A and B are shown apart, each in its own frame.
Chain A
């Protein structure tokens, strides 16, 4: 007995949303005009509507850090940010970290060299968090790095290598941040 047959819809009808908002998101220095359900989080906007899948969904409740992005240069969790709230802010994701010519950001390079990852799923969030950890000034000691990187769970447990990577990338990240400002 089939109590409910699938609805056959037209593409037009498919686009209708419950409560729709028109926003412009500035992601990695590029503007995206989006027409979204007001419930869409920044994470789902990135992944499902913009096609930037580097930011990951690991819990959707602010408990793992895999979705970490920068908003106006500060690390935040995109799963607990409404896309609408992020309008007008500069959003940087892992895809915006390396240069156009493919040159890796020093933090990406350090993660690669120190094997600061295994399955790689939490890695974009770890790297976004690590860059901020350095620029915030919380990478002076191993203990500081450990504490200020504790919002990013790594189930493969690459933690010691993550600490090593951040220590090695620290100066280069600070230099490039300085250059960026000047």
Chain B
């Protein structure tokens, strides 16, 4: 860990000013916001992230931690802690997939620390990314190559991959947000803007080091999940080697509106298998308007993984991912709502 200047934010405006481009000595040594710290400190200890300055935004918690649910949807402050949102009774009841993605992530301690904003920005677990002694990592060092392509890649992505990066996006909560068409509120040096959650993360392509559309100094201040008919019949199936405290090997977030046994609307997001939070729209198209039975679920799952690209150790992932989705769909169909 490199030395850094530590500053406690007084308010959002001054925090943004402190972290803005004017204060960035260089792109390699930026100023980072510190919220829960569960990604940032982890990677700083490994020298993967080397900020020159830290702006501790935890003092802003009182104003940025709201959890408000009304008829139009749910508003979630970026500094709300995962545990608080996960166990909020109205979230549990009205947005089960949100609650479940949070409850099934990490551990109770980490969920008490980690914020929603930080959670969606968590970095990949790719071992070649996390160890700076591996020369080839386009995410750390653009143009250096990708050691994972032909390395140990059991946990690596099969969707949204490129020849430059196959690092898996490790989060769970993002699958709920992308499934429910959430909006992200951003504040930055040039003002406020709202973007669709699916526009937040960027596919690796040939620039895997650029993970999001956030500009320098820009901060996530909150999320808005619009009310929808699918939210209530929603769930998250997370498949992993051990029962808890492990990143998803594969996962599926499903939100379903069933009318008279037919799929009026459906949203599907997949985790553990893609380089970014992944919306499986091809699968949704197949299901919409039809009966939700085993055969249709399987067809949808085939479509979801039609573009999957495997690399060595992760060749099992498309099939496990398909089964995970079928399981999630059939379970969602049986939910009592």
Q: Do chains A and B touch in the complex (CB under 8 A)?
A: yes
Chain A residues proximal to chain B, CB less than 8 Å: 18-19, 21, 37-39, 41, 60-62, 65, 68, 74-77, 79-82, 84-85, 129, 132-133, 136, 138, 146-148, 150-152
Q: Does B243 contact A (CB under 8 A)?
A: yes
Where chain B touches its partner, the secondary structure class is mixed
In the complex, are the beta carbons of A61 and B6 less than 8 A apart? no
**If the complex has contacts A18-B3, A19-B4, A150-B245, are A61 and B45 also in contact, measured as CB distance less than 8 A?**
yes
Residue of A nearest to B5 (CB): A19
Contact: A68 with B6, CB < 8 Å? no
For B107-118 the 0/1 string (1 means CB < 8 A from A) is: 111101100000
- Ranked nearest first, the 4 interchain pairs of A and B with the lowest CB-CB distance are A151-B107, A150-B244, A18-B3, A38-B6
> Whole-angstrom distance between the alpha carbons of A138 and B108 in the complex?
10
B38 adjacent to A82 (CB under 8 Å): no
B106: chain A residues at CB < 8 Å are 151
A80 touches B107 (CB 8 A): no
11 additional A-B residue pairs with CB within 8 Å, beyond A75-B108, A79-B41, A150-B243? A19-B6, A38-B6, A62-B42, A75-B109, A80-B36, A80-B38, A81-B37, A82-B37, A85-B37, A150-B245, A151-B110
User: Given the interface contacts A39-B1, A136-B108, does A77 sit within 8 Å of B243 by beta carbon?
Assistant: no
The answer to whether the Cβ of B34 comes within 8 Å of any Cβ in the partner chain is yes
B110 touches A21 (CB 8 A): no
Cβ of A80 and Cβ of B113 under 8 Å apart?
A: yes
Closest chain-A Cβ to B86's Cβ sits at a distance in Å of 11
Q: Is the CB of A68 within 8 A of B109?
A: yes
Q: Which residues of B contact A61 (CB under 8 A)?
A: 42, 45
* Nearest CB in chain A to that of B43: its residue: A61
Q: Is B314 an interface residue (CB 8 A)?
A: no
Measured between alpha carbons, how far is A81 from B107 in the docked complex, in Å?
Answer: 15
Interfacial residues, chain B to chain A (CB-CB below 8 A): 1, 3-6, 8, 34, 36-38, 41-42, 45, 54, 56, 58, 83, 106-110, 112-113, 243-245
Bound complex: CA A84 to CA B53 (Å): 13
Contact B113 A151 (CB under 8 A): no
A131 CB to nearest chain B CB (Å): 12
Shortest Cβ distance from B112 into A: residue: A74
> Measured between alpha carbons, how far is A60 from B34 in the docked complex, in Å?
18
Cβ–Cβ < 8 Å partners of B38 in chain A: 62, 77, 80
Choose among B4, B108, B110 the residue with the greatest number of A CB atoms under 10 Å from its CB.
B108
Q: Give 26 CB contacts A-B under 8 Å.
A: A19-B4, A38-B4, A39-B4, A62-B38, A62-B109, A62-B110, A65-B107, A74-B112, A75-B108, A76-B113, A77-B110, A80-B41, A80-B110, A82-B6, A82-B56, A85-B34, A129-B108, A132-B108, A136-B108, A138-B108, A147-B243, A148-B108, A150-B107, A150-B243, A151-B109, A151-B245
Question: Cβ of B112: which chain A residues have Cβ within 8 Å of it?
Answer: 74-76
Instruction: Name A39's closest neighbour in chain B (CB-CB).
Output: B1
| Neighbouring B residues of A18 by C-beta, 8 Å | 3
Question: Could you say which of A19, A82, A129, A151 contacts B41, with CB atoms under 8 Å apart?
Answer: A82
Other-chain contact of A129, B4, B56, B109 (Cβ < 8 Å): B109
Interchain CA distance A132-B8 in the complex, whole Å:
28
Contact of A76 among B8, B109, B245 (CB under 8 A): B109
List the A side residues contacting B36 at CB < 8 Å: 80
Contact A65 B109 (CB under 8 A): yes
Q: How far is the CA of A146 from the CA of B108 in the complex (A)?
A: 11
Closest A residue to B103 using CB positions: A147
CA distance A85 to B8 in the complex (A): 8
Write the nearest CB–CB distance from A35 to chain B, whole angstroms: 13
Q: A77-B109, A129-B108, A151-B110 are in contact. Are A41 and B41 (CB under 8 A)?
A: yes
User: How many whole Å from B52's CB to the nearest CB in chain A?
Assistant: 10
Chain B nearest CB, measured from A15 CB (Å): 16
Partner of B108, one of A80, A81, A151: A151
